[in-house]
Structure 1
Amino acid sequence: MAEAAEGAADLKPNFFAHGKARRFSPKSLYLFSTTNPIRKRIVWLIEWKYFDRFILMLIIANSIVLALTDYSSVLPDGTLSMSSWRNQVVEETEIYFTTLFAAECSLKIIAMGFFVDIGSYLRDGWNIMDFVVVMTGVLTTVPGMPNVSAFRTVRVLRPLRSLTVVPGMRLLVTSLLRSIPALLNVVALLLFVFAIFGILGIQIWQGLLHARCRMTPYPIQRVGGGVEGCEDPRSESCAAVVADPSKWEKCHAVPEPWNPETPWTTPVDCFWPVDDTDVFVCSMSGGGAHECRSDRWCGSNYDINGQPRFSNAGQDKATFVRDLNWGYTNFDNMFAALLTIFQMITMEGWTDVMYQVQDAHNAVVSAVYFIFLILFGSFFLLNLTLAVIWDNFSMGSKEADDEAEAAADEARREAEAAEDEAGADVAVPIADGGEGSEAGEAAGGEDGEGDRANEPCITRLVKHPGFSTFVVVLIVANTVVLAWDHHPMDDTLSNNLEIVNFVLTILFTIEMILKLWGLGAKEYARDAFNLFDAFIVTVSLVEMIVLPPNFLSADPQEGGGGGG
């Protein structure tokens, strides 16, 4: 028990500044005790909110200056050339920023202690990062320091120091880091889903996404049939070959009888001209959504076993087109399947991939596959990732709030204890639920009912739930009137809607006047929605004055719109 009490005493805050309780080293640098007036002043300074804001402004200014660096102007040894004014600005301001950051680091070390005790400067991981960045900046200013350019590269980390100054950014980064263990579980589940859908996709669509509509029923010779230079399927000489069936010279490797699904043992120097006017994948099995026209034939540059038919550069040209994602979308192997699935769950062009697969084989099976992949992969697993991060962020926010509340309570207790010891005759704030609140309850009743009883009747009216309900009914009615407007519209209906709209405008005006009267202008203006309502009502009244309704004007116009 004694050891536990002693440990608790060691963790007790020993500095109080600006309403914050802090636990720092009892004796900083073995020189400055907790009662040292210099250290007290420094603690007061570093805990001052404007000190952090000043450091943040320095970091922003230094980041802007570093962004000015002109890397196009360098010397032969790779260092920056001072012939560029931008590099001159960076170089000349470096000493000032380094000095200010070093001064900040020194003040914090004096205030907190360096390393030995709990609460010291280097006991915080964020301060370690700050210390490394500042020290490397200091080393660059030392004359004769070798490899100065290597140290200067650490300057790019200076913008990261803003994480230590802005509590919200620190909380975000901490939440992300704390989320990593839970995110690993999500990643494992995601990989499991990838594997299942990848294996399933390979079994269904392996080798089917290379099929294109061909201009000949079988592969033909690259050179032959009396036509030389037919090397590119898009060349004019190839067009001449394709246009004249008499010049179709069947590739010597084409087996007899020919079938597009016949195994092809050895790649040969032939080609199978593609119909460039048809950029879709075709269905070789006949079960897909896209069939070639009567004078075209569906075929692939790969055989049924995935072996390439051709040994030339045109082997992959059939699918190397923009509309087919340059040939990357396929389920030929696990890597290609995982890449396709990854593109799908990001929902970037996923419908194009789905349509491509539907063109190749069984549109119904493809639709079911991709719908389940999107529902489970995109909508569930990716949102589960966000949920994990949000849960850790909420937990971190709650811990930060609890720590701040505990520190404030501790500071208040210490202040009260100090006042009691000094015998100071000062007013102590009454805590929530103290005697002051009890007296208020006795005078005003539970939940302030007595105060409401003394309010003017107009105030009680506008605060009554029934008043808000009535206003909501008016808003719904006004929405119906506005939605009823159409073209062309009967004159009678138009006039009736205009009358209803006029009445609703008057009622909204009365509501605004009652709220201003009952709540007062100051209380009314505190609610942004009240200001928005007042703006809408004012605009409606101005419109009514400038363009009076037809039933109020001396010369009614026909065909006016209702609900305006």
Structure 2
Amino acid sequence: MDKNRLTTAINTNHTVYNTNKLYHNSSPTVVSIPNDDIHIHETDRFLNEHASSNILSDLPRSRNLDETDENELPFPGFVDQVFYCLKQTTTPRYQCLRLITWPWFERISMLVILLNCITLGMYQPCVHLAGSQVSKKCDAARCIWLQATDYFIFGFFTIEMCIKMTAMGIFGKGTYLAETWNRLDCFIVVAGLVESLIPGDNLSLSAIRTVRVLRPLRAINRVPSMRILVMLLLDTLPMLGNVLLLCFFVFFIFGIVGVQLWKGLLRNRCFLQLNMTTIPNHPLFDDFPERPFYMPPDQDSFVCSHPQSSGMTKCLEIPKLRKGNMTCELDFYAVREQIVNDYNKPINGCINWNQYYKFCNVSDKNPYSGSISFDNIGLAWVVIFQIISLESWVNIMYYIQDAHSFWDWIYFVFLIIIGSFFMINLCLVVIAT
């Protein structure tokens, strides 16, 4: 037992001694590196060639090294070359690109558009044409100033389009005409150019001049929030297709019902039944009516119904004729007989000509200058649109009731509930969702 302990202690001391000798007696070791510059250069050349070959092998064969990274272009958002010769570094195109990317470029364009809106609103053709109406020359000072401003605005829009076409290109992906709003701008400028080239003042030129009203729409492309709103509304059009188709069928059914029930009834008028050849030459008959049927002084039309129909208005309900504050009470036949017997005898009062409009028949005119009728499906749709817009629908209902029946109000109530309250709100729900 003691002998083993002694052997363990000796081994432990020997290990500690060797360890201390390793740490305390160790000396620094110097490693010599050979100075071979030729070998280093050859190694670098091999690595560079190997790296370049790997990069080129990863690229498509048809791709140019200048186009390996689009972000290396001076203006990354635009095409590299336009018109087959103008690169982004070419001086004319480079200056145009700098100009259209300048923040104040769009701001100045927006101010010109607002100025155009003001000048369009200030123009008054009847006032500004101070000369002869045949020549239609702009003679007033205000008109001359507005015309000069319009030339300036048109020139600015033309220069702006040319600068953008030079910077972006005309045709192809990412070019000027690739965007819809730029096409609208181009159409407005071309229409103004055609207007300035056509001499004279005719109907076709006037139609081209109406394109000026589209110039304020250029502001939509300059205001991002407005542009997003318009694009959202355009995106809802496909979703509105089914709703509009449903509206078409509903209004088509209402139109057919209206045509079947009331075709030609709104033309009913009370015609005059009087022998005009027997009227003597007397001042009392100078106010004889020249209209073949009755027209009320305070209404558009007087629609009647036949005596055997269930309409609410008959020709016998026509009020008496009034002249100022006096109501006419005299009868034509009694006055004529009295004048024949004694021509010089004074007669007080006036003849009630309205009492002779007592024959209800179909005329050639509809109410509101012929715009309100159910004679065909097209005119019926016009009436239905006016009814669902709640514009004077009560007057239309009264005319129908006068000519047909009191119970026609059911048609109008259902049309307003379905068309005005349900269909229109359904379109709004589709847009909102």
1:130 counterpart residue number: 185
Q: 1:15 to 1:347 in 2, by over 3 A?
A: farther
1:61 counterpart residue number: 115
Matched, 1:223 2:276: yes
User: What is the rounded CA distance, in whole Å, between the counterparts of 1:95 and 1:67 in structure 2?
Assistant: 16
Cα deviations across residues 152-188 of structure 1 (Å, max 9, x unaligned)? 9466654343233223444455455555556565554
Q: Is the 8 A contact 2:266 2:400 kept in 1?
A: yes
User: What is the rounded CA distance, in whole Å, between the counterparts of 2:273 and 2:195 in structure 1?
Assistant: 69
- SS of 2:164's equivalent? helix
Q: 1:43 to 1:360 in 2, by over 3 A?
A: same
Q: 1:136 to 1:22 in 2, by over 3 A?
A: farther
TM-score normalised by the chain length of structure 2 = 0.54
Matches within 5 A, 1:490-505: none
User: What is the rounded CA distance, in whole Å, between the counterparts of 1:80 and 1:22 in structure 2?
Assistant: 51
Q: 1:297 to 1:193 in 2, by over 3 A?
A: farther
- SS of 1:108's equivalent? helix
Q: Is the 8 A contact 1:345 1:377 kept in 2?
A: yes
**TM-superposed deviation, 1:36:** 7.2
1:375 counterpart residue number: 417
Q: Is the 8 A contact 1:65 1:89 kept in 2?
A: no
User: What is the rounded CA distance, in whole Å, between the counterparts of 2:116 and 2:109 in structure 1?
Assistant: 10
- SS of 2:276's equivalent? coil
User: What is the rounded CA distance, in whole Å, between the counterparts of 2:155 and 2:292 in structure 1?
Assistant: 71
User: What is the rounded CA distance, in whole Å, between the counterparts of 1:68 and 1:202 in structure 2?
Assistant: 46
Give the letter for the 2:406 counterpart: A
**TM-superposed deviation, 1:122:** 2.2
User: What is the rounded CA distance, in whole Å, between the counterparts of 1:271 and 1:138 in structure 2?
Assistant: 54
1:340 counterpart residue number: 383
User: What is the rounded CA distance, in whole Å, between the counterparts of 1:137 and 1:294 in structure 2?
Assistant: 58
Cα deviations across residues 292-334 of structure 1 (Å, max 9, x unaligned)? 66998997633xxxxx5xxxxxx56xx87xxx64675444444
Q: 1:42 to 1:146 in 2, by over 3 A?
A: closer
Matched, 1:52 2:94: no
1:119 counterpart residue number: 174
1:25 counterpart residue number: 79
User: What is the rounded CA distance, in whole Å, between the counterparts of 2:194 and 2:276 in structure 1?
Assistant: 70
User: What is the rounded CA distance, in whole Å, between the counterparts of 1:345 and 1:178 in structure 2?
Assistant: 26
2:328 counterpart residue number: none
1:198 counterpart residue number: 255
Cα deviations across residues 123-173 of structure 1 (Å, max 9, x unaligned)? 2232233335446767999xxx67498699466654343233223444455
Structure 1 unaligned regions, length at least 5 = 239-269, 303-307, 309-314, 395-564
Q: 1:49 to 1:372 in 2, by over 3 A?
A: farther
Q: 1:72 to 1:32 in 2, by over 3 A?
A: same
Give the letter for the 1:131 counterpart: C
Q: Is the 8 A contact 1:68 1:86 kept in 2?
A: no
Q: Give the one of 215, 222, 228 matched to 1:165.
A: 222
Give the letter for the 2:171 counterpart: F
Matches within 5 A, 1:502-521: none
User: What is the rounded CA distance, in whole Å, between the counterparts of 2:294 and 2:129 in structure 1?
Assistant: 48
TM-score normalised by the chain length of structure 1 = 0.43
Q: Is the 8 A contact 2:113 2:215 kept in 1?
A: yes
**TM-superposed deviation, 1:198:** 2.5
Give the letter for the 1:380 counterpart: F
Matches within 5 A, 1:80-479: 80-81=137-138, 83-90=139-146, 92-93=148-149, 96-98=152-154, 100-116=156-172, 118-134=173-189, 147=199, 153=209, 157-175=214-232, 178=235, 186-209=243-266, 220-223=273-276, 226-227=278-279, 281-282=304-305, 284-285=307-308, 287-289=310-312, 301-302=360-361, 308=362, 315=363, 325=368, 329-364=372-407, 366-387=408-429, 390=431
Q: Is the 8 A contact 1:198 1:338 kept in 2?
A: yes
- SS of 2:79's equivalent? coil
Q: 1:170 to 1:97 in 2, by over 3 A?
A: same
Q: 1:78 to 1:362 in 2, by over 3 A?
A: closer
User: What is the rounded CA distance, in whole Å, between the counterparts of 1:93 and 1:272 in structure 2?
Assistant: 55
Q: Is the 8 A contact 1:25 1:119 kept in 2?
A: yes
User: What is the rounded CA distance, in whole Å, between the counterparts of 1:277 and 1:68 in structure 2?
Assistant: 36
Cα deviations across residues 504-523 of structure 1 (Å, max 9, x unaligned)? xxxxxxxxxxxxxxxxxxxx
Q: Is the 8 A contact 1:45 1:51 kept in 2?
A: yes
Q: 1:281 to 1:156 in 2, by over 3 A?
A: closer
Cα deviations across residues 375-412 of structure 1 (Å, max 9, x unaligned)? 12222333444455x36xx7xxxxxxxxxxxxxxxxxx
**TM-superposed deviation, 1:56:** 0.6
User: What is the rounded CA distance, in whole Å, between the counterparts of 1:79 and 1:275 in structure 2?
Assistant: 41
User: What is the rounded CA distance, in whole Å, between the counterparts of 1:157 and 1:104 in structure 2?
Assistant: 17
Structure with more contact order per residue of length (Cα contacts < 8 Å, sep ≥ 6): 2
% identical aligned pairs: 31
CA RMSD, 1 decimal: 5.2
Q: 1:122 to 1:208 in 2, by over 3 A?
A: closer
User: What is the rounded CA distance, in whole Å, between the counterparts of 2:200 and 2:396 in structure 1?
Assistant: 52
